[in-house]
Amino acid sequence: MQRIKIVLQYDGSSFSGWQKQKKSRSIQEEIEKALFKLFGKETLVTGSSRTDAGVHALGQVCHFDCDEKFPVKNLCKAINAFLPDDIRVIKAYKVKVSFNARFDVIKKTYIYVLSNQNFNPIFRKYYTTIDYPLNESKMKDCMQLFLGKHNFKGFCSSSAQVKNFEREIFEAKLTKKFKCFVFEFTGNGFLQHMIRILVGTVVDVGRGKLTLEQVKECLRSYDRSLSGKTMPPNGLYLKKIFY
Amino acid sequence: MQRIKIVLQYDGSSFSGWQKQKKSRSIQEEIEKALFKLFGKETLVTGSSRTDAGVHALGQVCHFDCDEKFPVKNLCKAINAFLPDDIRVIKAYKVKVSFNARFDVIKKTYIYVLSNQNFNPIFRKYYTTIDYPLNESKMKDCMQLFLGKHNFKGFCSSSAQVKNFEREIFEAKLTKKFKCFVFEFTGNGFLQHMIRILVGTVVDVGRGKLTLEQVKECLRSYDRSLSGKTMPPNGLYLKKIFY
């Protein structure tokens, strides 16, 4: 038996999310189906992050176990041969059997892509469009407020099933690429919908609907009604997992 | 009665093509359905070009007639309100009643986008990927062979239902953008699958499977068996129509 770590890219548009669900298409299930075809036996995978429906991945990570006889150097190609074309394995490594893709995570990077130009029907699933003017400098100031350790209860879905809402954000950057705003967050973990609400809050600051003082108050009060709306999933990408 | 010319963008991924068909989703039909909802009566549209299934548009043009009482300045927004989100009207003009979107075309520009990097599951519907090395300089030389008036019978689908295979290509450029090859053709018209076969031929020259001499021979002999394969539709974009 050997433990394998794989790095994945996927287009989240046609999935109900990472996690297996009874009646809808999930990334986890597609990978387990591909591994079943390849290895001839049920092979469970453990992912680093449960991405939501419509959320994309540039570098999702998961692990599974398989027989030593399958050479690692051919695994990428072999698994891809059984995957649908909206998921691709880009790397495969042999790791220690103690490695756990979910629990060994040190930090994660997500990006959120937002266009401030006209709605584009061709790329509608790959970034979100907002048609009111945004103040870039104010948005950059807002991003800085999230740095460090905070209780992010005011910035996550009310249905988040966790006891500890404290997370640490190590980096929060706003850049422009191909005329889009790219919000990048690196942290030790993120609560349900947290990035989409952080971005919704930054956007509200950028359009003048919220002040930096109000955002600080939300960080202090843990009050979800004070933060911005949850942005749509289509602009969100799981970029990288660090172990 | 007034005649309206509209410019459209669409994601061709989920359509059987421009032209109305009995059992499948077409762009023409979606626009006619939207106009029916807006005007309350059947409104037929005439498009400049019949794009195939999977082919995108950055600037398709069509015309239709409607009552004078609908102000042109609100038409874009009004039509978009009834269109699915993979089609968008980006401009609407009032034109002479003699204007015909199909017959008044002077020239058309198409682009074909090709990646020579790894297959990307996120953008798989928006460019084609080829994983063997391509010689850019040879491909540029090949593009030049198509300039001018030629009988393109050797570069179109065998099911093309036309009598005259002569077309004139005014511009044929190969550039690189965001690490992709972008093939751009401007001509007075294109036969069925012609751009996709021209690009397939250029790619065969780029990989050393065809020589420039063989491409010239194909232009002289009108023999489809000498030209390259038909490239997939996902890399093709109708960029602009000139009147």
Residues from chain A that touch B56, judged by Cβ atoms under 8 A, are 122
> Tell me, what's the pLDDT at B158?
86
Of the residues A14, A27, A118, A122, the best mutation for testing chain B's interface (the one with the most B CB atoms within 10 Å of its CB) is A122
Residues from chain A that touch B11, judged by Cβ atoms under 8 A, are 121-122, 124
For residue A86, how many C-alpha atoms fall within 13 Å in the half-sphere facing its CB?
16
Tens digit of each residue's pLDDT (9 = 90 or more) over A175-191: 999 889 999 999 999 99
Give dist(CA A150, CA A134) in Å, integer.
26
**Residue in chain A lying closest to B84 (CA):** A121
Q: In terms of CATH architecture, what is B2-95?
A: 2-Layer Sandwich (3.30)
> Tell me, what's the pLDDT at B179?
87
CB B26 within 8 A of CB B20: yes
Give, in order, the Cα–Cα distances in Å from B153 to each of A9, A51, B108, B167, B223.
Answer: 41, 50, 19, 10, 7
> Tell me, what's the pLDDT at A158?
86
> Tell me, what's the pLDDT at B159?
84
Give dist(CA B151, CA B160) in Å, integer.
13
Residues from chain A that touch B90, judged by Cβ atoms under 8 A, are 118
Q: CA nearest B32: which of B71, B64, B75, B76?
A: B64
Task: Name the burial class of residue A82, with classes exposed (0-12), middle (13-18) and buried (19+) by CB atoms within 10 angstroms of its CB.
Answer: middle
Give dist(CA A59, CA A110) in Å, integer.
10
Q: Is A130 helix (H, G, I), strand (E, B) or coil?
A: coil
Q: List B56's β-bridge partners, or say none.
A: B237
Of the residues B7, B122, B236, the best mutation for testing chain A's interface (the one with the most A CB atoms within 10 Å of its CB) is B122
B50 Cα to chain A: minimum distance (Å): 18
CB B6 within 8 A of CB B91: yes
Give dist(CA B81, CA B86) in Å, integer.
12
B74 Cα to chain A: minimum distance (Å): 16
Are residues B121 and A85, on separate chains, in Cβ contact within 8 Å? yes
Are residues B121 and A178, on separate chains, in Cβ contact within 8 Å? no
* E-assigned strand segments in chain B: 2-10, 46-47, 56-66, 87-95, 107-115, 128-129, 148-151, 166-177, 180-187, 236-242
Are residues B85 and A178, on separate chains, in Cβ contact within 8 Å? no
Summary mean pLDDT of chain A: 95
Are residues A88 and B120, on separate chains, in Cβ contact within 8 Å? yes
Residues from chain B that touch A58, judged by Cβ atoms under 8 A, are 122
Specify the DSSP element, H or E, that contains A220: helix A212-221
> Tell me, what's the pLDDT at A178?
84
ipTM > 0.95 (yes/no):
no
Residues from chain A that touch B58, judged by Cβ atoms under 8 A, are 122
Which of A11, A119, A124 faces B121 most closely, judged by CB atoms?
Answer: A11
B120 Cα to chain A: minimum distance (Å): 8
Beta-carbon contacts of A242 under 8 Å, excluding residues fewer than 6 positions away, are: A105, A106, A107, A108, A109
3-state SS record for A175-212: EEECCEEEEEEEECCCCCCHHHHHHHHHHHHHCCCCCH
> Tell me, what's the pLDDT at B160?
79
For chain B, say whether A119 makes contact (Cβ under 8 Å). yes
Tokens of B175: 């550039």
Mean pLDDT of A25-39: 97
Digit-by-digit pLDDT tens for chain B (243 residues) are: 999 999 999 999 999 999 999 889 999 999 999 999 999 999 999 999 999 999 999 999 999 999 988 899 999 999 999 999 999 999 999 999 999 999 999 999 999 999 998 899 999 999 999 999 999 999 999 999 999 999 999 999 988 788 999 999 999 999 999 889 999 999 999 999 999 999 999 999 999 999 999 999 999 999 999 999 999 999 999 999 999
A–B CB contacts, 8 A cutoff, strictly below: 49
For the cut 90, the answer to whether the pLDDT of residue A241 exceeds it is yes
Q: Phi and psi for B118 in degrees, rounded to 5?
A: -65, 150
Tens digit of each residue's pLDDT (9 = 90 or more) over B53-69: 999 999 999 999 999 88
Extents of the domains making up chain A: 2-95, 108-238
For the cut 90, the answer to whether the pLDDT of residue A107 exceeds it is yes
- pLDDT category at A125 given cuts 50, 70, 90 is very high
Q: What percent of chain A has pLDDT over 70?
A: 100
> CATH for B108-238, among 3.30.70.660, 3.30.70.100, 3.40.710.10, 3.40.50.300?
3.30.70.660
**Fold: same for A2-95 and A108-238:** yes
Give, in order, the Cα–Cα distances in Å from A92 to each of A4, A145, A184, A240.
Answer: 7, 37, 25, 15
A170 Cα to chain B: minimum distance (Å): 27
Tens digit of each residue's pLDDT (9 = 90 or more) over A131-151: 999 999 999 999 999 999 999
For chain B, say whether A178 makes contact (Cβ under 8 Å). yes
Which of A9, A88, A124 faces B85 most closely, judged by CB atoms?
Answer: A124
> Tell me, what's the pLDDT at A206?
97
> Tell me, what's the pLDDT at B161?
83
B119 Cα to chain A: minimum distance (Å): 8
Give dist(CA A131, CA A115) in Å, integer.
8
Residues from chain B that touch A10, judged by Cβ atoms under 8 A, are 121-122
> Tell me, what's the pLDDT at A160?
79
Tokens of B24: 């499948």
